[in-house]
Structure 1
């Protein structure tokens, strides 16, 4: 009897997830391929139409290794809101690697959101933790080394569960290689040129 009760409880739980989705956040640890597809499990086909009423804003148009960038999800209208979100930073250039790999590290998340682990890395994705309505959420993202152009990609659920938008994107971030190495080379070239002329003058009769 107890064994049957456990099975029944599991079946009820699965049915509720199918009906209501996952209000406690994207189930990246239990749903295979979710990190790559970013498809909201248990929500069914989206009934959302038109452009998403959300923007992903970033504090910089470029990144460099270990630099912190502020990332915000915001509504674009006074009457808009969202309940769920799933956010990653991804490559735009396939020659640098997979364009579905979550890159960088998120931190300082709001209390009603959570850090998620995709693949073998930790805290490389960001999601909701409850289904309370939200209008803006902000987090810190620490950049990796050069991965080519990057964008932040999100799936955002407005609610009810069938009202969601996928592939919401930020503006593109380019890698900032800096000019330190160029400056060093330039100074060295100037030194060699001065030394050459000094020797040339010294050798004149």
Structure 2
């Protein structure tokens, strides 16, 4: 075996062992999966619920053209973010086009831009150091698409353990006739907006069903508070309707 062949084999072995510690190659843009060929991670994506959460701070009344918003990828439990790729795409996942661009990220020592659709259409890791959270600034495009969007992140805990395209909640544009509250109404003023959820729903975007749950040693305060407010409103309505009559009865 000549020297060049020996060097090539050694380099191949090193690449297989380490995957892509400095970030995914551009050929991964469409699939957002760690490359499995020829020298990629060699593992399938996990199918269990992801230990990662992706959020966008787009207000409930929608995003505006060329405005900036914060995307956050956060690990839960004992998991870390050792590798990742994030893009903003069509919400239903049917289009691999990266929408808008990223213009900043934190920690700076962890991230880099990746040329997916545009030169800054995606952000990814540039080393294998573990972090608990990664934040990036996303700039909306000048031309607003007609469909809803989501941020999608593939996040890797270790070489053969990763979750593919973990989605954020969907978000709309200011020009659309809908809002980002799945079961509620968006209340907005000049400086802020928030979802007011329909009865029985909770969450920032009103996307979770409120349940009365009792856990060992503690109650689910969020869900109990929803029911408490419902009961209080019912009591107040009865008091307003029958309070005067009851007072007259007591006086008699």
TM-score band w.r.t. shorter chain: 0.7 to 0.9
Match of residue 114, structure 2, among 106, 113, 116: 116
- Following the alignment from structure 1 to structure 2, what is the Cα–Cα distance between the partners of residues 6 and 107? 42
Match of residue 30, structure 2, among 28, 36, 43: 36
Match of residue 103, structure 1, among 90, 99, 102: 99
Contact 1:48-1:162 within 8 A present in 2 as well: no
What does 1:126-165 align with in structure 2 at a 5 Å threshold?
126-144=123-141, 145-147=143-145, 148-159=147-158, 161-165=159-163
What does 1:71-86 align with in structure 2 at a 5 Å threshold?
71-77=71-77, 79-86=78-85
Match of residue 165, structure 2, among 164, 167, 179: 167
Kindly indicate which of the two structures has a greater share of residues assigned to helix: 1
Q: Aligned-pair distance for 1:168?
A: 0.3
Give 2:68's aligned residue: 68
Runs of 4+ deviating beyond 4 Å: none
Q: Aligned-pair distance for 1:45?
A: 2.2
- Following the alignment from structure 1 to structure 2, what is the Cα–Cα distance between the partners of residues 128 and 93? 25
Count of residue pairs the alignment pairs up: 167
Q: Aligned-pair distance for 1:108?
A: 1.5
Note the alpha carbon deviations across 1:69-103, whole angstroms, 9 max, x for none. 001100122x2212000011101368xxx710111
SS in 2 for 1:52: coil
Note the alpha carbon deviations across 1:108-166, whole angstroms, 9 max, x for none. 122211011014x211100001001110011100011212201111111001x111000
TM-score w.r.t. length of structure 2? 0.61
TM-score w.r.t. length of structure 1? 0.74
- Following the alignment from structure 1 to structure 2, what is the Cα–Cα distance between the partners of residues 178 and 103? 17
Q: Aligned-pair distance for 1:39?
A: 1.3
Contact 2:75-2:133 within 8 A present in 1 as well: yes
Name structure 1 gaps, 5 residues minimum: 180-205
- Following the alignment from structure 1 to structure 2, what is the Cα–Cα distance between the partners of residues 111 and 40? 21
Name structure 2 gaps, 5 residues minimum: 178-252
Q: Which has the higher contact order (CA 8 A, sep 6+)?
A: 1
Are 2:98 and 1:125 aligned?
Answer: no
Give 1:196's aligned residue: none
Kindly indicate which of the two structures has a greater share of residues assigned to strand: 2
Structure 1 residues 57 and 47: alpha-carbon distance in aligned structure 2, compared to 1, 3 A threshold: closer
Structure 1 residues 114 and 6: alpha-carbon distance in aligned structure 2, compared to 1, 3 A threshold: farther
Contact 2:52-2:73 within 8 A present in 1 as well: yes
SS in 2 for 1:122: strand
